[in-house]
Structure 1
Amino acid sequence: MTITHEDELEGLRRIGRVVANTMQAMAAAMEPGMTTRELDGIGRALLDREGAVSAPRATYDFPGDTCISVNEEIAHGVPGPRRLAEGDLVNIDVSASLDGYYADTGASFALGTVAPSLDRLCRDGRRAMQVGIAQVGPGKPLSGIGRAVGAFAARRGYTLIRNLASHGIGRALHEAPEEIATWPTQGDRRRIHDGLVLTVEPFLSRGGAWAVQGGGDEWTLHARPAAPVVQYEHTVVATRRGPVILTLPG
């Protein structure tokens, strides 16, 4: 989507706040012994309260209102009977629509005390997203996002999952430009234009390179080679004043 009117920006800000508030409330509610289905139910209730519609359920018939991925699951985890435990690494991804506008956000959370290396991975995962967002602006190359994230990852000794990309968003969950790499690529000549709405969502890992199906369903993705992975995601609009993050709680 390309924003052309102020009311479009306000519509995106509204749904951006809804998904951000939902994700943060779910993270605050996590506790050992809770099932991922119960955690998803909290998200569903919050979306319902705001009149928002789960985007993965409505768009793809996903069997949950949010995606909850635990430990070896790195994305698109299906809420179910799995019980959370102290020390788990939990990714919560919330995308939804309201009044015809879509927003998408996600983050990885450590439940309780985890190894220092996982704490560092979480901190650096958020930094990797911020490095990518800083490359969003009119006239800048889309590939600049991946180059900047890749340089950051290499300096810090990490790998990137190379088949889970960022994407355009706004009037649908996934729009053009599609497959925006958050890893270094060659040959992508596309440029960002003023008002473009997109996600920035690198998957930072300690050894993983690819996302593959796992978990016995058609949705859940695991890392190959097996390794810890974190993902942080905002929905962003490119403006001449700099990138504007739409998925902030408030």
Structure 2
Amino acid sequence: MSIQSPDDIAGLKRVGQVVVHVLQTMQAALKPGITTAELDEIGREVLAQYNAQSAPIFFYDYPAATCISVNHEAAHGIPGKRVVQDGDLVNIDVSAILDGYVADTGASIPVGEVSPVAKKLCAATQEALLAALKVAKAGNRMDEVRTAVEKVARKNRFNIIENLAGHGVGRHIHE
């Protein structure tokens, strides 16, 4: 998105705060025994508290308020009857639209004791996030952010999935 005014920055900050709160609330509820549908309902309720809408529903008629992927599901899992187990690695992806502005956030969260590979993956994603934040500056291209993430992934012997390594937001879910 090309920022045109201070109102754009304020709008992006507001919706950004909403998606962070939704993610944190869902993360706090993530325990063995909860279904992904129940977790999604928590996200839906928090979005409603802010009068925000699920961006995947708004733009794509997605069947849930959030995307929840478990273990080997790469991304954009549809919440349902699946019961979260101890040892699962759960990815929660929250995208919202508020007052015409869109924000998107997500995290992979280990539930209980996860495998050594899952622990390594979580550590590598945190390292990649920090590397991305160093280059995610005004005037830099998204490709520079992707490259920073990919370097960390390769260093840790992981790969990125093309077209899932990040995207811009603003007035649309994928800019």
Structure 2 gaps, min length 5: none
Deviations 1:69-120 (A, max 9, x none): 0012121110111111001000000000111111000110001111233112
Aligned to 1:38: 38
Equivalents in 2 of 1:139, 1:20: separation in Å? 25
List aligned pairs for 1:224-235, cutoff 5 A: none
Displacement of 1:150 in angstroms is: 2.4
Q: What amino acid is aligned across from residue 126 of structure 2 in structure 1? A: R
Equivalents in 2 of 1:152, 1:48: separation in Å? 37
Aligned to 2:153: 153
Equivalents in 2 of 1:141, 1:14: separation in Å? 24
Which structure features the higher share of strand residues? 1
Equivalents in 1 of 2:158, 2:126: separation in Å? 13
Aligned to 2:118: 118
- 2:19–2:95 CA contact under 8 A, matched in 1: yes
Aligned to 2:26: 26
Aligned to 2:58: 58
CA 1:146 to 1:167, structure 2 compared with 1: closer, same or farther past 3 Å? closer
Structure 1 gaps, min length 5: 176-250
Q: Which runs of 4+ in 1 moved over 6 A?
A: none
Two-structure CA RMSD over aligned residues (Å): 1.4
Equivalents in 2 of 1:2, 1:33: separation in Å? 43
- 2:15–2:101 CA contact under 8 A, matched in 1: yes
Aligned to 1:106: 106
Displacement of 1:141 in angstroms is: 4.3
Q: Percent identity?
A: 48
Equivalents in 1 of 2:146, 2:14: separation in Å? 28
CA 1:116 to 1:15, structure 2 compared with 1: closer, same or farther past 3 Å? same
TM-score (norm 2): 0.93
Aligned length: 175
Q: What amino acid is aligned across from residue 110 of structure 1 in structure 2? A: P
CA 1:98 to 1:123, structure 2 compared with 1: closer, same or farther past 3 Å? same
Aligned to 2:3: 3
Q: What amino acid is aligned across from residue 22 of structure 1 in structure 2? A: V
Equivalents in 2 of 1:22, 1:142: separation in Å? 25
Which structure features the higher share of helix residues? 2
Structure 1 residue 91 corresponds to structure 2 residue 106: no
Larger radius of gyration: 1
